[in-house]
Amino acid sequence: NAGVTQTPKFQVLKTGQSMTLQCAQDMNHEYMSWYRQDPGMGLRLIHYSVGAGITDQGEVPNGYNVSRSTTEDFPLRLLSAAPSQTSVYFCASSYGTGRRNDVAFFGQGTRLTVV
């Protein structure tokens, strides 16, 4: 049981490049989400998904795309990287039901630098 796996751990991009951050979970969680963490701003929700085929925008969705073709995977795509997207990105998953013991598990994070 690996939990939530994010790749890569570090990435440097040039402005305008595109890339995909990978996130996979093996806990059969319906709910998955992407956050970015910036100093003094906490974790801000980018996009989330309540199940395969269903995605929705969070607080800061601009410049990012997501899809959820399977329960296990929830990739985050940067369409045209900008320096403002330099951040640490976390993927999380949970059952999303609010039931007891429904806790979000986080990946190790991806530190992205856009130059």
Partner 1 sequence: AQSVSQHNHHVILSEAASLELGCNYSYGGTVNLFWYVQYPGQHLQLLLKYFSGDPLVKGIKGFEAEFIKSKFSFNLRKPSVQWSDTAEYFCAVLFSGGGKLIFGQGTELSVKP
Give the interface with partner 1 as residue ranges (CB under 8 A).
Answer: 31, 33, 35, 40-45, 48, 50, 58-59, 90, 92, 94, 96-104, 106-109
Nearer to partner 1, 41 or 79 (CB): 41
Q: How far is the CB of 105 from partner 1 (least distance, A)?
A: 8
Q: Give me the count of residues in the chain.
A: 115
CA–CA dist 102, 96 (Å, integer): 7
Nearer to partner 1, 70 or 108 (CB): 108
Nearer to partner 1, 18 or 108 (CB): 108
- What is the per-residue DSSP string for 70-85? SSSB--EEESS--GGG
Phi and psi angles of residue 83, each rounded to the nearest 5 degrees, phi first: -55, -30
